[in-house]
Amino acid sequence: MRAGCASCGLWRVCFPGLVASAAEQRLNGLRIRRIRVAGGKTLYRSGDKVESFYMIRSGCIKELDDAHGRDGAVVNFGLPGEMLSLQCLGPSVSNTTSVAVEASFLCVVPWDTFSELGMDSPRVAAEFIRLIARSGMAARELLTLIRDREALERVSGFLLNVSARLQSRGVRGREFRLAMNRDDIANYLGLRSETVSRCFTELARRNLIRVRAKWVQIMNSADLRKVYLNA
């Protein structure tokens, strides 16, 4: 189950901005592992020492924050082409629990070999700082999504967000399957599953989307955005 990165179709996706120079040559020596995680299985738990970071090739991984005694609150859904455990680079222990929402394939990159590479390459170090800063920004975006907006706006924003992230990775963004169930979405958005359901129904009634179970089709992305922005 080992292979060089060059054979990976997600290469440019996994290492945005890093694709260039001599670094590319050396990354093949990193011994990246590929693993499969069954749906419902835990990748790592909060408090675990994390010695590698993860790139999602397919599937969906939910990150849970079980800090305050509550049963894991979803703080992020990792989609194909996105990274996990970046924020562990600093403290080296994870502050989230990552669980596969559905069967997923991942690449596992050990920190140590990667950080060696970073040592003599300021560009790689800068890239990592950028990636970590971005993961912090994502948390802030979710914050503003759920703090200032009501249910229908949150659900619209969620759909647009997933759509945009899929599209930016080259996947179809107009019609897709939500891997997670209603409870996970509700948890993520600070709502109840019934409310999420009602919002889906309402958006469908307005002909902005089409829903059947986990399948979502965005019919009118412009007006959906208006709902999101409350405009």
The structure tokens listed for 127 are 């890239």
Site stretch for DNA (CB under 7 A), options 83-91, 96-104, 134-142, 184-192: 184-192
Q: Residue 103 Cβ, how far from its own copies at the closest point, in Å?
A: 27
C-alpha 231, offset from chain centre: 28
Select 46 or 197, whichever has its Cβ closest to its own copies.
46
Binds DNA (CB under 7 A): choice among 192, 206, 210, 225: 192
Residue 51 interacting with DNA (CB under 7 A): no
Among the listed residues 72, 184, 63, 187, the one whose alpha carbon sits nearest the alpha carbon of residue 135: 63
For its own copies, the closer of residues 19 and 73 by Cβ is 73
103 is written with which tokens? 């069967």
Stretch touching its own copies by CB under 8 A, among 20-28, 89-97, 105-113, 212-220: 89-97
- Determine the residue type at 89: L
Partners of 104 in the β-ladder: 37
- Binders of DNA among residues 86 to 105 (CB under 7 A) are none
161, 164, 165, 167 alpha-carbon torsion, rounded to 10°: 160
9 forms part of the interface with its own copies (CB under 8 A): no
d(CA 93, CA 84): 13
Shortest separation between residue 46's beta carbon and DNA, angstroms: 23
Q: Is 143 in the site for its own copies (CB under 8 A)?
A: yes
| 60 is a site residue for DNA (CB under 7 A) | no
Phi-psi sector, 172: left (phi>0), alpha (psi -120 to 50), beta: beta
Q: Supply the angle between the helices 151-168 and 122-147 in degrees, to the nearest 10.
A: 150
When the beta carbons of 38 and 126 are compared against its own copies, the nearer one is 126
3-state class (DSSP) for residue 120: coil
CB of 188 to DNA, least distance (A): 12
Q: Does 194 bind DNA (CB under 7 A)?
A: yes
**How many angstroms separate the CA atoms of 109 and 107, rounded?**
7
Q: What is the DSSP letter of 2?
A: B
Kindly list the residues in this chain that would bind its own copies in the complex (CB under 8 A).
65, 67-70, 73, 75, 87-91, 95, 119, 122, 125-126, 128-137, 139-144, 146-148, 190, 229
Kindly list the residues in this chain that would bind DNA in the complex (CB under 7 A).
150-152, 181-183, 190-198, 200-201, 211-214
